[in-house]
Amino acid sequence: MNDTAKIAVAPHRGHPLSGTTMTGSQMIVQVIADEGLTAIFGYSGGAILPTYDAVFLYNAERARQGLAQLPLIVPANEQGAGFMAAGYSRSTGQVGVALVTSGPGATNMVTPVRDCMADSVPLVVICGQVPRSAIGSDAFQEAPVAAIMGSVAKHVFLVTDPTKIEATIRTAFELARSGRPGPVVVDVPKDVQNWTGQFQGQGTLQLGIYRQRMQALADNRLADDQAQLFFDALKQARKPLVYAGGGVIHAGASTQLREFLETFGLPAVTTLMGIGAVNTYDPLALHMLGMHGTAYANYAVDDCDMLIAIGARFDDRVAGNPGKFAPNARFIAHIDIDPAEINKVKTVQWSHVGELPDALRALTAWGRRHHIKPDYSQWHAEVAQLKHTYAMNYDRNSELVQPYYVLEEINRITAGEAIISTGVGQHQMWAAQYCDFREPRQWLTSGSMGTMGFGLPAAIGAQVAHPDRLVIDVDGDASIRMNLGELETVTTYNLPVKVMVLNNIGDGMVRQWQKLFFDGRMASSDKSLHKKDFIKAAQADGFEYAVRLERNADVPRVVAEFLAFPGPAFLEVMIDPDAGVYPMVGPGQGYDGMITGPCIPARKAAAIEKPGASEMF
């Protein structure tokens, strides 16, 4: 709540509209525009209508002046708006904005808000609310947004003092992007939107303790004695390995990480959310580790004697059994922006809490000043051998279309340059395993929440942000169903998004678990009796290119046509329904128990053990 907060006025910067009389809604829109956004996403409704009207008026005035407008992209459902804003944010690093109405409009945003919180994605959600006089009366389309969102968002504001609306919106952006990023929700009663006052063009709410914490993080530079302890350990190591997470990308630290790796010759693995932090074409890049990581990445983690975790949190998809994770690492170092992550899962011998770019620059500079040039040639040779011996592979002689083959073909054509979003399930893991990424923010996926239906709207948000880039949604037949209505959004705005559905006629990941751990009982995961014709659905929504691919011989030609089509394109690939995601580390298992499947070698045969009663999916 912010009705008791004071406003901290920043030094005057001469905003051209300072002193102009505006409604609360116009102030909301002006602050959003001042943040430099190129689009917002949302669905209208009674309680947010004043702000929608303000967007219309803002764009009309910009058009009159011959200036760029602020497009408002309208989805089929508010959840779609949230994931579009998240896709915009994940692909740009900017704060995404979703604008929705009260009641069901706000509650439909709960999943995207939690998804962004779980993956540390900066988002500002502005919800309409019933007038202040009606709050608590069970008015039409009223919902207790502050209570609902308070448990899933980084922060929630309910604006009860209209004089603070401008400062509140500006503060929401600050909170969303600073420190560990996350979603901030602003609940704005309709009468506050209609209030009229003077636009200040400056000022934020006073957040004394929070800003002190942020300043302390910024000031907490890596000291020389810390750097010396780190390099003392590194000089003793023979098999050091960097474990990079999504925090590297959120911090904009990929350049500093790559310089650090190159300077000291360190191989690296990345988490699902860290994909792109390291150029996957680099010889020392070992790709993704974890439950469905590459076998060579996981074996490298088992073999390393020093592990350097950067912007990663040892989550259960990576360290399902913390006691067995990196068992030979005598020294673990951890750098993160969030002190809560240090020693939370795995005890470390060295840590630093602060901003990643500064910390990595400081380490690199210290090592150069002291001429640290370790010789890891033997370890490099071992890494190369791991990548060769335990390479990703599949049945290349199968008569059925294999999803891996399709993704390899996409990867061959795009050469690591495409922006790829995914839904959640087997297709998500296959894309992570078989696609390359040269830069950060090319890989958009729902990691911690694992939200099905994420892929299509996230791709839309990314395409809006990058109109000239190739954006591909790699989706599954079950996942895309959850936000299938957004196909129409693609064609409504004539976005050249490429939507590919790998159709195995069911919930593939669930079926894989049912086969392995539930004696093959396909409880509610088989969709063979469902009647969805995805091609007709895409055509009905205006896709001129809508093709079904069913034969191996057609894969190269059809994939090339699909990617080259100049507008929206839809491709359904009927894949082998028994294709599995391998490698796989069962819940609670160490990497030494990794199941590599029928086509990837393993160091030892893995026994398939049923998860215990408390083991996670």
Residues 6+ apart with CB under 8 A from 209: none
Cα torsion at 348, 349, 350, 354 (round to 10°)?
20
Q: Is 1 a catalytic residue?
A: no
Locus of tokens 């993080």: 217
Q: pLDDT tens digits for 444-495?
A: 999 999 999 999 999 999 999 999 999 999 999 999 999 999 999 999 999 9
509 is catalytic: yes
For residue 415, give the nearest of 470, 370, 360 by alpha carbon. 470
Task: Name residue 98's amino acid.
Answer: A
- Stated pTM of the model: 0.95
- 300's torsion region: left (phi>0), alpha (psi -120 to 50) or beta? alpha
DSSP state of 413: H
For the ranges 409-418, 539-548, 608-617, the lowest mean pLDDT is seen at 608-617
Work out the average pLDDT over 486-514: 94
Decide if pLDDT at 298 tops 90: yes
Residue 190 designated active-site: yes
Distance CA 496, CA 503 (A): 22
Do 51 and 128 form a contact (C-beta atoms < 8 A)? yes
CA–CA gap between residue 453 and residue 80 (Å, rounded):
9
Position 8 scores a pLDDT of: 53
DSSP letters, 300-351, are HHHH-SEEEEES----TTT-SSGGGSSTT-SEEEEEES-GGGTTSSS--SEE
Q: Which residue has the tokens 């673990």?
A: 332
| Short-list 40, 48, 55, CA closest to 94 | 40
Cα(223)–Cα(462) distance, integer angstroms: 39
Q: 200-249: per-residue pLDDT in tens? A: 999 999 998 999 999 999 999 999 999 999 999 999 999 999 999 999 99
pLDDT score for 146: 96
Rounded to whole angstroms, the Cα distance separating 109 from 78 reads: 6
SS3 content of the chain, % helix, strand, coil (to 5): 40, 15, 45
Inform me whether the pLDDT recorded for 529 exceeds 80: no
Catalytic residue among 1, 6, 61, 140: 140
192 phi/psi in degrees, rounded to 5? -70, -35
Which of 506 and 110 is assigned the larger pLDDT?
110
By C-alpha distance, which of 38, 246, 43, 216 is closest to 125? Answer: 43
Tens-digit pLDDT profile for residues 124-181: 999 999 999 999 999 999 999 999 999 999 999 999 999 999 999 999 999 999 999 9
**pLDDT recorded at residue 216:** 93
pLDDT score of 580 more than 80: yes
- What pLDDT was estimated at residue 614? 63
What is the pLDDT, as a whole number, of residue 519?
Answer: 80
The answer for residues whose C-beta is within 8 angstroms of residue 110's C-beta and 6 or more apart is 148, 149, 152
Average pLDDT of the chain to the nearest whole number: 95
Active site (annotated) includes residue 385: no
The average pLDDT across 566-595 equals: 94
Q: Which of 22, 30, 41, 78 is catalytic?
A: 78
Give 75-122 pLDDT, tens digit per residue: 999 999 999 999 999 999 999 999 999 999 999 999 999 999 999 999
Tell whether the model's pLDDT for residue 49 goes beyond 80.
Answer: yes
Q: Of 109, 149, 291, 509, which one is the catalytic site residue?
A: 509
Give the 3-state secondary structure of residue 124: strand
Q: Which of the pair, 516 or 147, is modelled with greater confidence?
A: 147
- 215 three-state secondary structure: helix
Predicted pLDDT of residue 514: 85
Residue 1 has pLDDT above 50, yes or no: no
Mean pLDDT value across residues 327-333: 97
Q: Note the pLDDT of residue 560.
A: 98
> Shortest CA distance to 111 belongs to which of 611, 450, 480?
450
Percent pLDDT > 70 in the chain is 97
Which whole number is the average pLDDT over 414-426?
Answer: 97
Task: Please give the helix or strand (H or E) that residue 140 lies within, else none.
Answer: none
Q: Which segments of 449-565 are extended strands (E)?
A: 471-476, 498-503, 545-549
Q: Is the per-residue pLDDT at 11 higher than 70?
A: no
CA distance 594 to 603: 9
Task: Give the Cα separation of 10 and 15 in Å (integer).
Answer: 12
CA dist 241 and 366 (Å) reads 19
Does the active-site annotation cover 35? no
Set out the domains of the chain in order of their start, with CATH numbers. Answer: 7-217 (3.40.50.970), 221-389 (3.40.50.1220), 403-574 (3.40.50.970)
142, 164, 166, 190: the catalytic one is 190
Mean pLDDT over 334-357 rounds to 96
Rounded (5°) CA angle 423-428-430 = 155
Using alpha carbons only, what angle is made at residue 118 by residues 206 and 242, rounded to the nearest 5 degrees? 105
- What separation, in Å, do the N-terminal and C-terminal C-alpha atoms of the chain show? 37
Q: Which of 499, 486, 477, 481 is nearest to 427 (CA)?
A: 477
